[in-house]
Amino acid sequence: MTAGRQTGGMGILVCFFGLLALIVTGKCSYSPEPDQRRTLPPGWVSLGRLDPEEELGLTFALRQQNLEKLSEVVQAVSDPRSPLYGKYLTLEDVAELVRPSPLTLHTVQKWLLAAGARNCHSVTTQDFLTCWLNVRQAELLLPGAEFHRYVGGPAETRVVRSPYPYRLPQALASHVDFVGGLHRFPPTSSLRKRPESQVAETVGLHLGVTPSVIRERYNLTSRDVGSGTTNNSQACAQFLEQYFHNSDLAEFMRLFGGDFAHQASVTRVIGEQGRGRAGLEASLDVQYLMSAGANISTWVYSSPGRHEAQEPFLQWLLLLSNESALPQVHTVSYGDDEDSLSRAYIQRVNTEFMKAATRGLTLLFASGDSGAGCWSVSGRHQFRPSFPASSPYVTTVGGTSFQNPFRVTNEVVDYISGGGFSNVFPRPSYQEEAVAQFLSSSPHLPPSSYFNASGRAYPDVAALSDGYWVVSNSVPIPWVSGTSASTPVFGGLLSLINEHRILSGHPPLGFLNPRLYQKYGAGLFDVTRGCHESCLNEEVQGQGFCSGPGWDPVTGWGTPNFPALLKTLLNP
């Protein structure tokens, strides 16, 4: 977790009291994120260096306290065998636990004020601080940084980033984890529009996945909807500079929601919701969260309209640290290659997930759409895990297809379904038995040099990810595919289970994984056929891991059988 270490004695005093000189000279300094990828993502181009007087908003992640205690609390409130199960903390409780030390707060504030920072805003937990500076001040504050404007992505998004690493005074090594707004570019959608298959109209066939197909496959009846009488709510978050349109949602429900009670509008939008063209992924997230978690109040976290120097995913984390009342289930279709992110950033984001778990929030992340992934390390191919899918404190959702693409049949692996083993996080105790069983029994394991067998393994569960209908910009679009589809579906079903728990006087599910693994996947359809994609070389020939009985790193424990899953998860 520590990005740097203080060195002792007089050197620190010299560094501390000479902060302004150090900002200029870079002496007695360190790099919080030396391993952060700074190569320009495909499709992005520089528009040149910023004017020195242009304003920037930068976010400083301040070092937290009591992280071991935080981990213990997560375990206690998430493990059904614990006497503290379901006794979640309030946001104020979390703030008391992790709030940075007075020394950290004082040191960082003094440093920023000396550099001319203004309009600084913190969050309830006081572990993030966002301040405004002009470019000249920011480049003096962060030696090595050089701010450029870039444009890229399908929406021609503009961002401000630095192509060069930044440094901080050594005196801040024990006080700042990283600075947001310098390196990480917004992700691009991995949704795929697959070719529409040709088939004659025949009784018993379907022509793509719709809410009725999902409800049939996962055994939901028309009664399996929210009651409208509780404070139960759910949310989706997207960071692709996309909008959804309420008119598209209404048309989607008109076309596909006639068989069940539902809400035809989003309850609350957090962030800017503009009037531009709707994005396919934003439309998908909202429509399938609200049709699977039918008749449940739904929030949308929207990133368009943010300042160009801000990181959309980081801004969402700040919102979680600043809102006392939040939806119980959050589904997120965001991911990046684990190796492209700094360890300081990954570890800190993981801590933010721990904070959410102590509050009883269920966070679901898409496992990704590149199978096991692939990259070359020192001339050798390896699989490429994705983050946040690889975090041990989120529930990760993989993808499946119907065995017969035109019938509601058993499911097989969708070859794009992301899965594998983290190179950063060790295997958590809750999945020790399941993963060990897979590694010892799978007849199709790839060579051991391709993956870290001792790492956190994912996904945890799965759902259909192939062949969805979505309404976007008033047009019904068929054959949309990706784990961005399976994730809101699974999240919506968990929201229905939370509804039953709340009506029964039980707390919401919270962080699901300890319970999920203790139950050995009870309530889920085991997916035992198929493999996902990986490196196209002679050694593995494009094949990653394969599914099998029980848990596997392609579809997790399997896909939801709603009545059985409700029975498994209803009572404490």
Q: What residues form the annotated binding site for Ca(2+)?
A: 526-527, 550, 552
Active site residue 281: yes
Please tell me the total number of residues recorded for the chain in this structure.
572
Can you read off the two tokens belonging to residue 242?
Answer: 């996309």
Can you read off the two tokens belonging to residue 108?
Answer: 């960082």
Can you read off the two tokens belonging to residue 340?
Answer: 């492209």
Question: Is the Cβ–Cβ distance between 308 and 149 less than 8 Å?
Answer: yes
Question: Is the Cβ–Cβ distance between 487 and 457 less than 8 Å?
Answer: no
Question: Is the Cβ–Cβ distance between 239 and 187 less than 8 Å?
Answer: yes
CA 190 to chain centre: 14
Active site residue 378: no
| Helix, strand, coil fractions of the chain, as percent rounded to 5 | 30, 25, 45
Question: Is the Cβ–Cβ distance between 329 and 235 less than 8 Å?
Answer: yes
Binding residue numbers? 526-527, 550, 552
Question: Is the Cβ–Cβ distance between 90 and 47 less than 8 Å?
Answer: no
Q: Which residue has the tokens 């949602």?
A: 249
Reduce the DSSP state of residue 293 to 3 states and report it.
Answer: coil
Q: 443: buried, middle or exposed (CB in 10 Å: 19+, 13-18, 0-12)? A: exposed
From the list 281, 369, 460, 466, the catalytic residue is 281
Can you read off the two tokens belonging to residue 160?
Answer: 């401000």
The greatest distance separating any two alpha carbons of the chain, rounded to the nearest whole angstrom, comes to 82
From the list 285, 352, 411, 460, the catalytic residue is 285
Strand 531-533 versus strand 386-387 pairing type = unpaired
Nearest alpha-carbon partner for 298 in 269, 321, 332? 269
> In DSSP terms, which residues pair with 455 in a beta bridge?
426
Dist. CA 219–CA 181, nearest whole Å: 45
Dist. CA 494–CA 28, nearest whole Å: 50
**C-alpha distances in Å from residue 27, one per residue of 10, 20, 22, 34:** 14, 11, 5, 16
From the list 162, 321, 386, 484, the catalytic residue is 484
What backbone phi and psi angles, to 5 degrees, belong to 264? -105, 10
Interhelix angle for 343-358 vs 67-78, to 10°?
A: 40
User: Hey, which residues are catalytic here?
Assistant: 281, 285, 484
